[in-house]
Amino acid sequence: MATAYRSGWHFIDLVTAIPHSGDSLMVTVFGEPVVVTRDEDGDVRAYRCLRRPRGAPQPVRCAIRYGMIFVNLDQRDHQQVDADTPAARTFSATPRSA
């Protein structure tokens, strides 16, 4: 059951919690420590902290929506999209009064 809740996007905090570049926030999501930082360019990034010695931090998908930080720990969503997929079609509608 924990794996069902583990997949998907999870709220971490508000963006105002790390307002300046170099600020960081350490949280635990489903028992895994995650560090959310703001880099020099002002972008918010998240990393999974590995428990192995000398392990490099593993990037985690991070998104900002409506001033809130969300992370996704599920590795299945990290697949790249094929360039051969058809582009979304757009439809134009003419108003009835025209």
Residue count of the chain, please give it.
Answer: 98
pTM attached to this predicted model: 0.64
List pLDDT tens digits, range 4-42. 566 788 888 898 899 988 899 998 888 888 889 998 888
* DSSP 8-state class, residue 17: G
pLDDT the model gives residue 81: 43
The residue type found at 17 is: A
State how far the Cα of 47 lies from the Cα of 60, in Å rounded to an integer. Answer: 5
Mind giving me the DSSP string for 5-31? Answer: HHSSEEEEEEGGGS-STT-EEEEEETT
